[in-house]
Structure 1
Amino acid sequence: MLENKFSTITTDRLLLREIVDSDLENIYNGLSNPKITQYYGVSYNSLEATKEQMTWFADKKQLWWAICDINTKVFYGAGGLNDIDDQTKIAEIGLWLLPDFWGKGIMKEVLPLICNYGFKHLLLNRIEGFVESNNKNCKRAMAKLDFKLEKTVPDFEIKNGKPISIDIYTKTN
């Protein structure tokens, strides 16, 4: 496994930095919020349970950033690459934002930064986005950011006791 050297990324308004232990409450606030977890793969009902997510972030197969305001350091959400495979040079992209920061162009700004990092620093050939088929906002964002809809997989997984379909979006280097 390549050692994923963590780099801070900045723009005129955003700071993408390493997720640290002191982010536990911010991560909990996001991943316990029904507006976020409606289309997200995990949710937590306590700070203690959220420590599992912090352990996941620290795994070498993941590379996730805390997304913050460059000046105030206010936490907006998290984004990064999952299941980084050094053999196939493929990873999955993910991102979530606290609802107060929706509709402010943050996703549109952050996703290309994460992709560029994956292609240039991790030497990925392909980045995949797995989007629930009924998540219209995310699907629009993926299309605007030059991800191509590769296929829809019906009944891909069970969520809340019901099968859900997943649209697989891809971007190649």
Structure 2
Amino acid sequence: MKSTFPILESERVTLRQFVDSDLENVFKGLSHPDIIKYYGISFNSMEATKEQMAWYADLEKNETGIWWAICSKEDGRFLGAGGLNAITKENRKAEIGFWLMPENWGKGLMTEVMPLIINHAFTSIGLHTIEGFVETKNVNCKKALAKLKFNWEGTMQDCEIKNGEFISLDIYSKLVDK
């Protein structure tokens, strides 16, 4: 029997399962130039954004990840998304991802939300390693990962093409506390 979706909470936010009514907010986020500048995917229509919603659901169904809608505890407003994907049970690792609507940047939300996801990964899922792949030019994300005590493992030079140009990715990891 499948377990119920875990709701995670901190002082200011609730992380909950995505629902159909989140489609418009996910589209606003993943079509916003400031968000997609350093994000791996983007969408140019609500219809195309349905792919992302299906991806979130498939992660759960296939047990290859779990992503949450990040919402304000105060008023329920959608703030962004975060979660784990590429879970490999045999190696007890996953990749972490995160994005926030620009009006929520610089408010310490990433360093409030990420520990909830990390703790869930280590204690409930039983992971040993969490990896983060960050575009080398995404300085703010790299600073946040450093605050969360992720280790910089190295840089994969010109390893992906984005908008017709090669980009490099910095690799970060965090191991379960022993």
CA contact (8 A) 2:9 2:116 kept: no
Shift in Å at residue 13 of structure 1?
Answer: 1.2
2:57 is the alignment partner of 1:54: no
Structure 2 gaps of 5+ residues are none
Contact 2:16 2:68 in 1 (8 A): yes
Alignment of 1:119 with 2:118, yes or no, is: no
Matching residue of 1:45: 44
What runs of 5+ residues in structure 1 fail to find an aligned partner?
Answer: none
Taking the TM superposition and a 5 Å limit, the aligned residue runs for 1:12-23 are: 12-23=11-22
Which of 147, 164, 172 is the matching residue for 2:150?
A: 147
Q: How big is the alpha-carbon RMSD for the aligned residues of Structure 1 and Structure 2?
A: 1.0
Aligned residue identity for 1:84:
I
- Give the CA deviation at 1:170: 0.1
Among 67, 71, 74, the alignment partner of 1:71 is 74
Question: Secondary structure of the residue that 1:121 maps to in structure 2?
Answer: helix
TM score, norm. by length of structure 2: 0.93
- CA–CA distance in structure 1, aligned partners of residues 71 and 111 of structure 2: 15
The offset of 1:71, in angstroms, is 2.1
User: In the superposition, relative to structure 1, how do residues 4 and 130 fare at CA in structure 2: closer, same or farther (>3 Å)?
Assistant: farther
- Tell me the TM-score normalized by structure 1: 0.96
After TM superposition, the structure 1 stretch with the greater mean CA deviation from structure 2, 57-66 or 117-126, is 57-66
Distance verdict in 2 for CA 1:45–1:77, change over 3 Å = same
Report how many aligned residue pairs link the two structures.
171
* 1-structure distance, mates of 2:106, 2:127: 29
Partner of 2:32: 33
Note closer, same or farther for the CA distance 1:4–1:122 as it changes in structure 2 (3 Å cut): farther
